[in-house]
Chain A
Amino acid sequence: MKILVTVKRVTDYERKVKIKPDGSGFETEGMNFVPNPFDEIAVEEALRLTKEHGGDVVVVSIGPNDATQQIRQALAMGAQRGILVQAGELDSDAVARVLQKLVEKENPDLVLMGKQATDDDANQAGQLLAGYLGWPQATFASKTEGLESAEEKAQKPGVKVADGWASVAREADGGIETIKVQLPAVITTDLRLNHPRFASLPGIMKAKKKPIEEIPVASLGVDITPKVRVLKYEEPPARLAGVKVADVDELVNKLKNEAKVI
């Protein structure tokens, strides 16, 4: 089975991003970039699926040339080859249209994507892609067994594939919904689907020799004019200093009369 996995280059969630003084974007100086953590989960799932069913994992990133680093990281985990679509910032719709072109070219049996990217949290590209392709979609793929289960430790895929269908446990409010989708399909991954592996050091050395195809976005003939424009970014309001209360009575009193939460 051939699986196409998307990997977006995002700002490191462990470091605080600094907004430019005019609110037009972020300071990139000194920023660290990592693969979108949800995408790493998608890569891991793809590797587990191809281990079980055979086949190849192709990693796609849409972004600046430096996004080859994130592709290499996925190749180091074990993916076979990479595709970089060289482009600036795109909105979710343009990303979905670019991916549609690649899917038509690559003909995968399955597209695995993170449910959202941790930089803009848009949570749209997977759904839009399925729409443009006319494919079924299963979003927020999770596991029926916990992340500490024996199944997870044995690195079994959480997505079960059989007879041209994939069954997916989806995290819904207050529970798990299990659905089956016919392949080819788009599946987006949630946090509790798996623990992504560490790329091994020999894997990193091997990844240096794996092929990455570079495609300028303009050559795909996709309309990428933005349909969504970011007007500005703002810092969240600074948190006010806390107060110390003398006893429980004072706490209850404050919660009742000042915060008005009880």
Chain B
Amino acid sequence: MPGEGVPKELDGDELSEIRLAVRRFVRERLIPHEAQVEDEDEVPEALVEEMKALGLFGLSIPESYGGLGLGLEEQVGVYEELGYTSPAFRSVFGTNVGIGSLGILLDGTESQRQAYLPRLATGELVGSFALTEPDVGSDAAAVRTRAREDGDSYVLDGTKRYITNAARAGVFTVMARTGSPASRGDGVTAFAVDAHLPGIEIGAPERKMGQRGAKVCDVIFDGVRVPKSSIIGGVPGQGFKTAMKTLDVGRLHVAALCVGAMQRALDEAARFAQTREQFGRPIAEFQLIQAMLADSSTELLAAKTMVRATAARFDRGKAPSADASRCKLFATEALGRVADRAVQIHGGAGYIADYAVERIYRDARLFRLYEGTSQIQQLIIARDVLSPG
């Protein structure tokens, strides 16, 4: 019963109970552990258990498979909350509710869904998405990892690079080439691959600029034999399409996280500006500081509004997939600017690790790179603009 007592955001929106519960968890349980995660480069296991108990691993998975079945509009609200703290926390279950489960959810056969989604929803199983390779990044249709047909099975050979949550994963969504190299995307097939099969090796975690606590590793497939039944959807050659659909939703998730991160950077900057004094008064009284706060706040509203509206239209089946790219492009680039201003407002303190903005500035950088760089989003958007009809 939404009443007058429901907390309102600045723009007057009522927050759902789900979102409020996540907000409370973020503020009371996660934010106090940010520094620890940064120091140890690890999300404490006890917190992972709390995240499972809260139900975060099942946000997007339908109720019939044991998840919460939230629509995209509600999901992006939850991601805004999670974006408010270190992205490492979201990363723990981010692949389960996003790119690591979506292929199976969107295109999987009923028995594949039954086999994986309920365990992904509880967090018992971690799902991970393996598309990128040493020589295959933005040009994702060029996948080189081979899947050779052999009787009732396929044999996988190749290396996947920068795979989030690889070390925790129980199941990989692997894009591998079943067709000829010239077949581009049409020769790519998505497989749901059990992480414990013989021949799979996980590399050492990469050392990264930011997002400490979130892990990426190489995944090496050396003669890994998988049954034909592990082809997502059962039909070879559909893998590139599956990957692209998965990324549409993933990009909205990333955009929503950026909205939350912008809010945090702005809150930190505003608080700092009100307490830091120079020339005998709080720096917030200087109009040059105010201009930065105003610009950040405006970009935040623009990003928030576009992400929410786009998510709602996706729920109604009425948004072109290029709109997910528009949201990702704008929100990730805007966060870059907002985080930069937040550091600037902090002065030297902004470069010191005791202040949250130092972390936010480094963490923010990744969003413009993964799940499609900004340039790739621009290509997708331009193609949409230039395509007839």
Asked whether, in the complex, the Cβ of B3 is within 8 Å of the Cβ of A66, the reply is yes
Q: Which B residues lie within 8 Å of A202 (CB)?
A: 55, 58, 68
Closest residue to A205 on the B side, CB-wise?
A: B68
Q: Which A residues lie within 8 Å of B18 (CB)?
A: 201, 204-205
Which of chain A's residues 197-216 have a Cβ closer than 8 Å to chain B?
A: 198-205
Asked whether, in the complex, the Cβ of A198 is within 8 Å of the Cβ of B54, the reply is yes
New A-B pairs, 10, CB < 8 Å, besides A28-B5, A72-B17, A204-B17 = A28-B4, A32-B7, A66-B4, A66-B5, A69-B5, A198-B25, A198-B53, A199-B21, A200-B54, A201-B21
Interface string of B1-30 (1 = CB under 8 A from A): 101111110000000011001101100010
List the count of A-B residue pairs having beta carbons below 8 Å apart: 54
The tally of residues in B whose CB lies under 8 Å from a CB in A reads: 23
Q: Give the docked Cα–Cα distance between A36 and B8 (Å).
A: 20
Asked whether, in the complex, the Cβ of A69 is within 8 Å of the Cβ of B6, the reply is yes
Asked whether, in the complex, the Cβ of A201 is within 8 Å of the Cβ of B3, the reply is no
Q: Which B residues lie within 8 Å of A68 (CB)?
A: 1
Asked whether, in the complex, the Cβ of B54 is within 8 Å of the Cβ of A69, the reply is no
Distance to closest chain A CB from B89 (angstroms): 15
A residues engaging B (CB < 8 A)? 9, 28, 30-33, 65-66, 68-69, 72-73, 76, 198-205
Where chain A touches its partner, the secondary structure class is helix
24 examples of A-B residue contacts, CB within 8 angstroms: A9-B5, A28-B4, A30-B8, A32-B5, A32-B7, A65-B3, A66-B3, A66-B4, A68-B1, A72-B17, A76-B21, A198-B50, A198-B54, A200-B54, A200-B55, A201-B22, A201-B56, A201-B58, A201-B68, A202-B55, A202-B58, A202-B68, A204-B17, A204-B21
With most chain B CB atoms within 10 A of its CB, the pick from A198, A200, A201, A203 is: A201
**Does B130 have its Cβ within 8 Å of any Cβ on chain A?**
no
Asked whether, in the complex, the Cβ of A69 is within 8 Å of the Cβ of B3, the reply is yes
Distance to closest chain B CB from A27 (angstroms): 12
Q: Give the docked Cα–Cα distance between A165 and B320 (Å).
A: 65
Distance to closest chain A CB from B201 (angstroms): 35
Q: Which B residues lie within 8 Å of A32 (CB)?
A: 5, 7
**Does B59 have its Cβ within 8 Å of any Cβ on chain A?**
yes
Closest residue to B50 on the A side, CB-wise?
A: A198
Asked whether, in the complex, the Cβ of A201 is within 8 Å of the Cβ of B59, the reply is yes
Q: Which A residues lie within 8 Å of B63 (CB)?
A: 205
Closest residue to A29 on the B side, CB-wise?
A: B4
Q: Give the docked Cα–Cα distance between A199 and B18 (Å).
A: 10
Q: A198-B24, A201-B18, A201-B21 are in contact. Are A69 and B53 (CB under 8 A)?
A: no
With most chain A CB atoms within 10 A of its CB, the pick from B5, B8, B56, B63 is: B5
Which 8 A-B pairs rank lowest in CB-CB distance, beginning with the nearest?
Answer: A201-B55, A66-B3, A33-B5, A32-B7, A200-B55, A202-B55, A66-B5, A68-B1
Q: Which B residues lie within 8 Å of A204 (CB)?
A: 17-18, 21
Q: Which B residues lie within 8 Å of A73 (CB)?
A: 17
Asked whether, in the complex, the Cβ of A201 is within 8 Å of the Cβ of B7, the reply is no
Q: Give the docked Cα–Cα distance between A198 and B58 (Å).
A: 16
Q: Which B residues lie within 8 Å of A198 (CB)?
A: 21, 24-25, 29, 50, 53-54
Q: Which A residues lie within 8 Å of B54 (CB)?
A: 198, 200-201
